[in-house]
Amino acid sequence: MSVNLLDFDAAGLTQFFTELGEKPFRAKQVLRWMHREGCDDFAQMTDVAKSLRERLSQTATISAPSMVRDSVSTDGTRKWLLDVGQSNAVETVFIPEARRGTLCVSSQAGCALDCAFCSTGKQGFNRNLTTAEIIGQLWYANRVLGAANDGEGEPGERIITNVVMMGMGEPLANFDNVVAALNLMLDDHAYGLSRRRVTVSTSGIVPAMDRLRDACPVALAVSLHASNDALRDKLVPINQKYPLAELMAACQRYLEKAPRDFVTFEYVMLEGVNDQDTHAYELLKLVRDVPCKFNLIPFNPFPNSGFERSSPERIRRFADILMREGIVTTTRKTRGDDVDAACGQLAGQVKDKSRRTERHVMQFSGGSQ
């Protein structure tokens, strides 16, 4: 069986070539061809020995997920549905802005956490993505967008300047594969992104947050969405295992090694659920010892969600309460909602092993299990 070289970060690829009896520098050569040049043909790797190229062509591949559907929003946001096999497909979103381009990357086929307001969670869960399937989203997007990484004196404009692990799935529930992909994003021989421009978003798996701090500290975003445990237990069920006090302590520990001196708290605005003044004042008490910024996210509807988006005025008042106490607060501009590419709308195609999809159908049809 062929080995997919996209599954290896620098350390893994070095070990692979060592086992082949090759010098370690071959790993750096092939990394540059794969990730900086977007090359998937060993024959084109002209500075690699011809004998090794021929050997690799027989024993290895460079295989990213293939595109099923390409959707472009009226605002320029682009969403790809990518085939990851076994009746599963994940979604990757590129958000172009004046001074940066952000790629939103998925880490799982579906999601096991079942947050109440998220379309991805309602699709159920199948499996973790491999490193090749995670980094393959960046590899594919770079290739499609015609991006040339600018490094080591080479001309070109970096089209994807930021990567956020905020697509389908909980990144820290797929820790090893996600960290290997992060290593490639940061590697100067691959994508060469700075730690400040790579963000992992988590719902709050506390032990994995500590592991990430030690293994690969990048920018951290926490899906908070509630100001007290009783409400968060309902909206973000992982809170029942790692309640808010533990989560805030983990955020403080993470900041000891983080590339930014703050944590971003993401907070989806749900009308009449978590958007009242009392919730804002509770948040102020909750985060008083955690340097942070808030990103308020207008809820993006999907069928049978059971929630409504807070009004612009309610969001503005909520933000004002936080900002009056000196907390930087932004309201995320909804992008790509006309192609279901907005935050919380990513669903993809998931062969659900958890039977969650079936249970939700029964629930909304009035049936019983």
The catalytic residue positions are: 91, 343
CB neighbours of residue 33 within 10 Å: 22
Residue 153 sits at φ, ψ, to 5 deg, of 80, 0
From the number of C-beta atoms within 10 Å of its C-beta (0-12, 13-18, 19+), residue 220 rates as buried
CA distances to 18, 28, 31, 190 from 25, rounded to whole Å, are 10, 5, 10, 14
Full DSSP string of 133-148: HHHHHHHHHHHHHT--
User: Which string of b and e fits 53-70 if b means at least 16 CB within 10 Å?
Assistant: beebeeebebbbbeeeee
Q: How many residues does the chain have?
A: 369
Q: How far apart are CA 309 and CA 57, in angstroms?
A: 52
DSSP three-state, residue 198: strand
Contacts of 44 (CB under 8 A, 6+ apart): 33
User: Which string of b and e fits 114-127 if b means at least 16 CB within 10 Å?
Assistant: bbbbbbbbbbbbbb
In 3D space, the residue among 162, 181, 249 whose CA is nearest the CA of residue 210 turns out to be: 249
Task: Decide: 136 and 64 in contact? Cβ < 8 Å.
Answer: yes
Q: How far apart are CA 355 and CA 349, in angstroms?
A: 14
